[in-house]
Structure 1
Amino acid sequence: MDEDGEEDEGDEEGVEGDEELEGEELDQRLGSEQEDTADEEEDEEEWHGFGTESETEEVPSLMQVDRTEATNEPVAAPQASTSASKYVPPHLRKRAEAESVELSEAQLKLTRQLKGLLNRMSEQNIASIVDGVEEIYRNNRRHDVTETLTKLIVDGISSHSMLLDQYVVLHAAFVSALHKLVGIEFAAFFVQHVVTSYDSHFAALGDKLDAQPQPAGDTSTPDELIGKECSNLVVLLSELYNFQVISCVLIYDIIRSLLDGDLTEFKVELLLKIARNSGQQLRQDDPTALKSIIQVVHSKIPQDTSALSSRTRFMVETLSNLKNNKVKKAAGQAAGGEAVERMKKFLSGLSKKRHVMSHEPLRVTLEDLRSAETKGKWWLVGAAWGGNPLVEHQQEASNREAATPDAPSENALFKLAKKQGMNTDIRRGIFVVLMSSDDYADACERLAQLRLTEVQQREIIRVILHCCGNEKQYNPYYALVGQQLCRLSHSHKITLQFCLWDFLRDMGETTVGGAEILKNLSEDERAGFNVKSISSTRMRNVARAFGWWIAKDCCTLAILKPVDFTVLKPQAQAFLKELFTHVLANTQLSTPLLSSENLPTTRNKGPLEEVFMKGAKIETLALGLAYFIREAFRGEGGFLKWASQVALDVLRTGVDNVPVI
């Protein structure tokens, strides 16, 4: 038993010895693997790419690796982090480096493609270049293409030296084409970065000028400090406005920012660039804003113009000519203007041939673009907005009321409308619009926003004539509103005709009007017993308004066809003489500011003959007009004698039996 027991113990010892050997071999293997791991960790410590010496890194154990491989589950790549405690294994580092290399290579390839297209672009092949960029948009991420394209164009335009106008015009037309075809997102991104680049260059130039001491009162800029980056970017913005990428709102904001503070020679140069490139379009879009800006310019220049520099005097002269529509194109500006016209034709053809994504220009302000990163981009669909439009609108309204305390409120205007006999909501609304508008263009735009039916629109002319007649002094504002309305709709011309007939019937001319009107009149009204009392001021104001409308083809002399000029009552005679006096005079004028005492000195037969030729086509009307003009202006001299004779000569061509004076 003992031997067996010893043998059993020996066997047990042998087994234990074998197990110990196996354990030693396993320990050796694990030791060698741990040494290899330690070597790798030493290599990692020598690299010093992540973390510090004091930080302990967690290395996955062999059992974890084996278990992962056994289950065939992929190991999730750890996300790259800026924190130093995150360990990135070497094989994942190589993968991240390979991905970054691939991205950089793709970015370089995209940049080379776009730069090659831009370098080859000219007026002749701009259509094919636009097609090439569209193809690149289809094959790459849109934001990458937009960002790269914007960087290339802005860097190319913001050169330190002056660029040719044709070069800037070409790139502005290219941006406009992409604005139409790619969408508003491209134009919004591009314009925002152009304004940001302009602000940075302008601020850098201001810092240079502040660091450079100048004599007191000297507003000139040293030539070595002047770079043309701001000038080139301002020209680009002006051309983008010409091509309807941005609206006049942004351009006027830039002009106001340049007028803020002292008017230095560099600011004058930028103002001249805008005025010469986009001045005519600015005057067309918002003449009142241009007028206010010119007033600010005149307030900043001294009374003694001899102290001004030649460039400042030229800028003031250019703005004055622009205000008075006397634009003079310089010889060097002709090439740029011709390029603009050619590019406009290309863009209009593009809209006809291709599907256009955006039609309207961006109506963003300079403040909107500067605060886009904090408040958001309201002009882009889906963009987040950090402001409160309702609070801002209320604040702007309160600021306007504080700035103009004398302006009547809307409630006061409604009360005034009731006092003036505006007995319907439609008439009261029209009255409030007419009384609260800034000018005739603003009035017409706001009247269009009332959404009136065709029948309700007839009230507009009636309210205009009511307000015009009740003014103590003649106000040409109403004549301009009526003229603009007649240009927009023929129905307003018909309403003018009926209103004139109503006015003549109020003065006792009961035979004037249609058959239905005459049939509904009572016997007393036919006999003229119910003649309304019309003041001389009202009669004169209405006559002057109709004199302007007839002279400017808002209505023709044919509206006087039902008038019997041989049996006119005294009040109607005085009214028609005043009317024809202003018809004759307004054919020679471009604005309705004529007074009865100051008749025009020009003698242009063309417009006068054109007005009376339309009356000479109707024989009975021509006879009546010839009789009345001969009798009314008998004994007149000067302009009225000449103009009435021209009118009679024209009427004589339509009727052979008109008596000669």
Structure 2
Amino acid sequence: MTSIRQVLDSKKYVPPAKLKALLEESDVSYASEEYQRLHWEKLKKQINGEINKVNTENIKEVVLELFKLNLIRGKGWLVRCLMKSQILSQAYTTVYAALICVLNSKIPELGELLVTRLILQFRKAYKNDDRDTSKASVIFLSQLVNYQVCHDIVALQLLFLLLEHPTDTTVEIACALLQNCGKFLSENSSVALNAVFERLGTILTEDLVSKRIQLLILEAFKQRKNDYDGAPVIVEELDLVEDEDKVTHTLNLDDKLKAHEILNTFQFDQDYEKHEQAYDELRKQILGYEEDSSYDESDEESEDDEADNVAKEQIRDLTESALTNFQKTVYLTMMSSINHEEAVHKLLKLQPIDPGRKEQMLVDMIVKCCAQEKTYSKYYALVGEKLISVNRNWTKAFDQVFVDNYTNCHQYELSLIRNIGSFWGHMFASDKMGWEILQIVQLTEESTNSASRIFLKFLFVKLQEELGLKNLRVRLSEEYIQPYIRGLFPNSGADRLRFSINYFTAIGLGALTEDMREILNNLPENEEESGVEDENERKRSASPDD
């Protein structure tokens, strides 16, 4: 027994096989404190491991693995892990909320303990003027409101508290709450939400906060006016529990609550076997099949063996489902980011499904996200502007995607072409995108179609908006650019000159054609006539024989 005590006191990692042999040699009984403490330490590690790896793609598997563990015994540690992880990774708040929603539907005390501790955490942080912890707590609670783990009365009480004596910090946190659960409140508590926005309007008109916070308030009003862009309260991938199965806890911000911190530590259980058997029965009801209640060292050993096998056999999953999941991750990452800088930081950390094409796949998805917006959003172009500056691989990726977009633009609808063209117009205007790639464009009737001409129209219109007509003309007249834009602005050939002049005049950029007009007027007469003859010959050859 001394050796077991030494293992417990040292708190060092012991391999599962060695620990199993040690238990057998020591002949430890289930009722002993040493046995229970060993299993408590293992339960903590398993819960912590599952929480650390959960994401949108594997959340269903993580839920099943967590239900295999004794969550009644480990509920305090589970809630502690969720709260710590959410503070460190607020972008995953929706995933953590979806996870607790599923667990709460079967074991309601888990959701109640989490809501209780979040309220207490907010109270303490608010009292100590801890902005970051207060904001993290409010964001987590707002997502729990969306998933109906927590009643919306808490969200409304938070809003009224934060706006009662407005400061930059409190109003910023209130706007974050509205951004996260404003849609839910507008559908379920519209009258109370109207009062909140009236208060925000008063704060705005009386100039009670800084300009930065006023912009956040205006953005909150804009989101409300747009019905939060028609987005669902819960994204489809994380909507795992039917409404009738959800358990909602009604707690008030000023209730007398206890955190039950003692649940985070080991407690000796006189009826250990009885309680383990009771959870085994509950597990069978939840999972619907027989599970090995021991889930002990032998399981952990097999997990280690599986890990070794995975390390030996590298599998590349390039199936359509893997690509779809990757695209969803990119989309959700961009949608959950506060600004373009945060989005770039997160995107660079994403694990690629094909390391050789990571940059190109990301750029392609960013352009697709931009294309799907109802109106062009500069947000995506700012993300692109940051990414293309990372290294040369990203520059090549942007060039390749531009070529693909221009070549295949005939496959897109008009609204998509508008956004895509505007995106690339911003990239060229920012000077982050090399103009050399424009050499692929040949602006002639034979080399273009209606879609590609529309694409170029929105590209140049965006260039003119970003730079101004005067600066755009200066840019296009620079010496180094000339060889790459000869396809767009030719300096010879009457037909090509006329077509380019007519095109840019038609899209409202006739000022860019002054040099071409001068060249056309000064062309030798025989060259102009040969150009006309070539044009007539081309038309005759294109027409069917009689």
Which interval holds the TM-score relative to the shorter structure? 0.3 to 0.5
TM-score, with structure 1 as normaliser: 0.32
Greater RCO (Cα-Cα under 8 Å, separation 6 or more): 2
TM-score normalised by the chain length of structure 2: 0.38
Structure with greater helix percent: 2
